[in-house]
Structure 1
C-alpha cells in the first residue's frame, strides 16, 4: 500500500482510515493491557522469571498505540478542516 499524505486522500479514504485505525488501536490496547496485567500477575504471585521480559515487551509495543492515536488525531483534524471549508 502506498503511503499517501493525509491531505491528498479523499474523504471516503479518510473515513475508512479513521474507522480502521480506531478499531485496530482499540484491539491492540486491550491486548496490551491484558498482557501487562498477566505479566504483573505472573511476576508478583508466582515469581516467574518470564514475567519481567514479557512486561518489557508489552511496554515497548505500547508505542505503537501512541503512534496510532496520533495518526487518528491527524485524520480527525483533516476531516474537521474539510468539513469547515464546505
Structure 2
C-alpha cells in the first residue's frame, strides 16, 4: 500500500485500513444502487475480488481502486462524486 494512501487511511476513524476500505467500498455499492456484479463489470474487475473487499477478506491494491473509480465514472453524476472520493483514497 502506498504511503500516501496509508496516510489518508490513518486519518479515518475506523479501526484498521482494511476496515476503512471495506466500509468505503460497501458504501459505494449501497449508494450506487447497482449490484456488486454490475459494478465489478463496469470497472473491469472480478465479482470475487470486489466481494472479497466488501467482506474484508482482501484489501484492494491502489490500481484496483483506480479501476473501480473508472467504472463508477461511467455512471451518473452522483456516482462521479463517489468515484472522486475513491480516487482521493487511492492518492490520486
Q: Normalising to structure 1: TM-score of the pair?
A: 0.34
Q: Normalising to structure 2: TM-score of the pair?
A: 0.32
Of the two, which has the highest radius of gyration?
A: 1
